[in-house]
Structure formats: C-alpha cells, structure tokens
Amino acid sequence: MRRELAMDAAMAVYNEEGYHAITMEKIAERCEISRASLYLYFKNKDEILINAIVDHTEYFTDLLQELYDNRERMRDNLLKELWGRFINFYEKEPETFNASLYFRNSEMILNLPKDLRDNINESASKVVSLQHKIIEYGVKTGLFIDCNPMTLSEVIWTSFLGIIQLERSKQVFSHKVHLETTRDLALEVLSRGIIKQ
C-alpha cells in the first residue's frame, strides 16, 4: 500500500513540476509518510518512478496479451482493437505514460543504474514482443499488407507515440488539444494503408 502511495505521489510531482523537481522529501510529504519510511521501500526517486512505469507497463502487457489470446475472434477489427489498447494504456495513467517516454530517452536510460535499466527494458520487451506477434498474425492471415511485421508494428506504435507527443506539446504551448480527433484520423489513415481491401 505504501509503495503504491509513493509511486502515485512521485507521478503527481512529475506531472506538476517535472522530473528534476522531484525529491524524496516531496514524495514523502505528498504521500504523508516519513522520509525514513520511504527509504525502507525505495533507494531513490528513480527507483520509485521506474517501479511505477514497470507496473503501468504490466497493465499494458495484460491488455495486449488479452488481444493476442483473442486474435481470431477479433481478427476483423484487429487494428482498431490494438489502437484501442494503446489509448487505454495512455488514458489510464497519462503521467506514468509520459514518464515512461522520458525515461526511455537514451540519455536518461543510460544514467540509470543497471538494475533499473534492466527492469524497464524487460517490461518494454514484453510489450514489443506482443505487439509484433499481433501484427505478425495480421500479416500472416492476409488481413494486413504483406510486409515485415516487426517494422509494421513499429510504424503503428510510433504513430501513436508521435500523436501523444504532438498533442502534449500543443497543450503546453497553446492550450489547444485535439487528441481524440487526431487519434481517430490516424487510425483511419493507418487502416486504409495497412488493411487489405
């Protein structure tokens, strides 16, 4: 319970003030436990954030596994179902999603201790593997265009990530957000180019 409170508090500070403003003191204050108690659970703020990211990524892994397990039943809507899981992953905890993108930046990940790098990479690898398997199924069954499934999987995923990044930037600078409209149009464009007619 306290671990979850600490992870939630760290994500709240990250969302409000950014990574560099996070301190163990702010996290302890936010979740109403002593700093000494916080150190019983985590060594530092990076460990808290990475644990939150890994937990959130496990949620995404479960969403993708459920889709893969039901791929035959959902075949006709496979791309839409996959895109919907991307949306669910983002909308469940947007701040954790954004923190995961921040930590996957090559400079940030290289500055993490090896055990934390390994944790984040292991959880990400499961997601990538499932995404590839889902897209490979679509290619092999003739639902999707004939191409390298791994590359197609990366095109779909990075399209989603790019939309999220663009809309976050627009929100910061102009306070205008067209996230749903942009996501919907992207899915339509991808569908027209990926799904065989």
Residue 187: the pLDDT is 95
Percent share of the chain, pLDDT over 90: 82
Residue 71: the pLDDT is 98
Residue 102: the pLDDT is 87
Residue 167: the pLDDT is 86
Fold of 1-42: Arc Repressor Mutant, subunit A (1.10.10)
Give a three-class secondary structure readout of the chain. Answer: CHHHHHHHHHHHHHHHHCHHHCCHHHHHHHCCCCHHHHHHHCCCHHHHHHHHHHHHHHHHHHHHHHHHHCCCCCHHHHHHHHHHHHHHHHHHCHHHHHHHHHHCCHHHHHCCCHHHHHHHHHHHHHHHHHHHHHHHHHHHCCCECCCCHHHHHHHHHHHHHHHHHHHHHHHHHHCCCCHHHHHHHHHHHHHHHHECC
User: Mean per-residue pLDDT for 79-100?
Assistant: 95
Give pLDDT tens digits for 35-65: 999 999 999 999 999 999 999 999 999 999 9
CATH of 52-194, one of 1.10.357, 2.130.10, 1.10.287, 1.10.1200: 1.10.357
Sequence ranges of the domains in the chain: 1-42, 52-194
Give pLDDT tens digits for 15-37: 999 999 999 999 999 999 999 99
